[in-house]
Structure 1
Amino acid sequence: MSTPMFRAVSYNMLAYGRSAMRTRAGQHEMLRLLRPDVVCLQEIYAADADRDELDRLVTSIAEGLGMVALAVPARHSDCHLAILWRPEYHVLSSKAYDLLMWHGLGVVRLDIGADIPLTVAVTHLAPWNPDKRLCDAITLTGQLPLTDATIVGADWNSFGADPEYDPDPDWAALAPQWIARQVRWNDDPHAPPLADRRPAHMMQRSGFSDVAPTLGAAWQATGGHRGGWQRREDVFWTTRPAALREYQVVDTDQAKGLSDHLPIVVDLDPKALTQMPPFARGDQGVPAGQVTS
């Protein structure tokens, strides 16, 4: 008998709360049809970190999906986060962190019926400042120990570590004011732009695996269909690459009409969550195949 897979979805909802009710209902329907076990959400809009409004919005999403939720306030932004999970899973712990991150960090440890718990985290890196994105990644890795079986759903607002998988954009096609927010700083204003990949390098050097390239999935953009450039800005990271089974981008007309981001989906084998990579066991060196510079 095959092992039931565990499905995680990450999705930036494009200011859910300011959007039309029809859009919200369409997002609920799309997420329900994906049959997720957990959902990591970004961009739930509540002005001035209004906690009552945030809780109301997150509750409406949870009720629409028949799930339980943790609201994660983004204290330095109006775009907040949430984690949702199926009600049959027992919650071992849950916490919403500020930690001076631009959007914050939500972490839930769940008993999903596997041999060990699964830690689910959600975050959203800073949109405008490359150095702040690196600081957010440093904080993220400091809060999520490699010994835990962890999946992180994120609006990464950045690049992957490998330029062969996530190539630099056509810089000449971008507005100049955006280039400085995406490249490594150089005191020479005439130096060729170079994508700032430090947040992804920080994750890899800390032992996390980027799900899409780890599985060898064909590259697909998750943003850019409403302007800007085509890029993979939504990602999953995990400390248990051996548990990964399938990755997909929900690239449908319905999804493109509901947000400027596309949902991403990963299926994991709960029986493989105990298989720690050598780096997580304390062996020396960076995991094989990971970019280090």
Structure 2
Amino acid sequence: MLIRIGTYNLFNLSAPRSAAEKERYDAIVEVIRGLDVHALCVQEVLGTSPEEAGLLLRQLAQDTGLECMTAPDPASGAPSGPAIAASQHGHPDASGAFRGNFHVGVLWAPDVEPVPGGWRAYNGLPDFWHALATIRLDFGSTPIKVGSFQGDPFRPDWRYNEARRVTSAFLGQLGILGADFNCISADTWPGTTRYYDHDPYTEQDHDLLEYQILWRDDPSEPPVADRRAAEVMRRQGLLDAAPLANAPWHPSCGHWTDAVGTPDIWGPRRIDTLRVTRRLAPGVHTHRTVQTTESLAASDHLPVVTEIEPDKA
């Protein structure tokens, strides 16, 4: 049996308040429907509170034909609720109005069952700039722990420490993590010591660059991508599914032009992927970045999907 799990940064997705926002929301819905996944990890679900973000996740689930309600926890007595983990960092829109914090969540197909007691929200602060959501899902065989995460975009040292916290949630598990990691992978092409991801920053020179590169005592030295967070995950057994599947390299972002016509300052790079635990790694079958006319227009990140055969894990 093959299961398909995806990850998708929804680009500041809030409840639509205008015709243009409704049009983009509908575009996101159609892209997700086209993925045909058994589970989807999503980032940048905006809401001024976790409850508001939960309502948006429930609406998104309903419109895409997916589910998002956790199972009640028999141990703690916690009731069912939307699979949303709360961030403490927000987003003002172009007018300066607060549109909500950047929450993360998980969606799954109707024939997939959430395992009672298998849900946990690692909410932002003190552990994360954004958040980590994990849930055990029964795909019809052994339950798999599925996580959604978004890394710190501004503080390389914090991003490194966040990676340590993330790996602690997956040690010894049969698990998969979908995320916008906000950093370049440290995994290598199969059978080589060559990085799967080239360094996209070597020729760049702009004010935001310091958030993505190693510190240089001499700023005239060539910039080098900071891969420390990704290296922590690799060493601790959260492995990048793309090189495991020997998939052709493809950027997950860099295509976006903003409302005033400014292109993505970072250029093409791959910061969205799925990472599997060592136990699940033998089951990785395929890995692809979904680039279509619709996905290019719907978000500044492209969705990524990995196919897994759990029976091989």
Normalising to structure 1: TM-score of the pair?
Answer: 0.86
Partner of 1:75: 88
Following the alignment from structure 1 to structure 2, what is the Cα–Cα distance between the partners of residues 81 and 39? 11
How many Å apart are 1:74 and its aligned residue? 1.1
Partner of 1:61: 60
Match of 1:119 among 145, 163, 176: 145
SS in 1 for 2:211: coil
Superposed CA RMSD: 1.5
Match of 1:205 among 211, 235, 238: 235
Partner deviation per Cα, 1:52-94 (whole Å, 9 max, x = no partner): 3212211111101222211121123411111011233232211
Partner deviation per Cα, 1:137-181 (whole Å, 9 max, x = no partner): 011011212x21101000011011146321112543342x12211
* Paired residues for 1:220-259 under 5 Å: 220-226=250-256, 227-228=264-265, 229-239=267-277, 240-259=280-299
Which shifted more, 251-260 or 17-26?
17-26
Distance 1:178 1:18, change over 3 A: farther
How many Å apart are 1:131 and its aligned residue? 0.8
Following the alignment from structure 2 to structure 1, what is the Cα–Cα distance between the partners of residues 203 and 231? 25
SS in 2 for 1:180: helix
Question: Which amino acid in structure 2 is aligned with residue 256 of structure 1?
Answer: L
Partner of 2:224: 194
**Structure 2: gaps (5+ residues):** 69-82, 91-100, 189-193, 257-263
Partner deviation per Cα, 1:5-48 (whole Å, 9 max, x = no partner): 1011100011111661111112111211221100000011223x
How many Å apart are 1:266 and its aligned residue? 0.6
Following the alignment from structure 1 to structure 2, what is the Cα–Cα distance between the partners of residues 100 and 241? 27
Following the alignment from structure 1 to structure 2, what is the Cα–Cα distance between the partners of residues 250 and 225? 13
How many Å apart are 1:102 and its aligned residue? 0.9
Contact 1:171 1:179 in 2 (8 A): no
Contact 2:151 2:180 in 1 (8 A): yes
Does 2:137 align with 1:107?
A: no
How many Å apart are 1:207 and its aligned residue? 1.4
Following the alignment from structure 2 to structure 1, what is the Cα–Cα distance between the partners of residues 282 and 50? 38
SS in 2 for 1:220: coil
Partner of 2:155: 129
Partner of 2:204: 173
Partner of 1:277: none
Partner of 1:8: 5
Does 2:168 align with 1:148?
A: no
Contact 2:214 2:226 in 1 (8 A): yes
Distance 1:268 1:167, change over 3 A: same
SS in 2 for 1:61: helix
Following the alignment from structure 1 to structure 2, what is the Cα–Cα distance between the partners of residues 18 and 165? 37
Contact 1:95 1:108 in 2 (8 A): yes
How many Å apart are 1:271 and its aligned residue? 1.3
Partner of 1:287: none
SS in 1 for 2:120: strand
Contact 2:28 2:298 in 1 (8 A): yes
Distance 1:174 1:223, change over 3 A: farther
**Structure 1: gaps (5+ residues):** 274-293
Following the alignment from structure 2 to structure 1, what is the Cα–Cα distance between the partners of residues 136 and 170? 11
* Paired residues for 1:84-99 under 5 Å: 84-92=107-115, 93-98=118-123, 99=126
Which shifted more, 86-95 or 58-67?
86-95
Normalising to structure 2: TM-score of the pair?
Answer: 0.81
Which shifted more, 12-21 or 56-65?
12-21
SS in 2 for 1:189: coil
Following the alignment from structure 2 to structure 1, what is the Cα–Cα distance between the partners of residues 203 and 2? 43
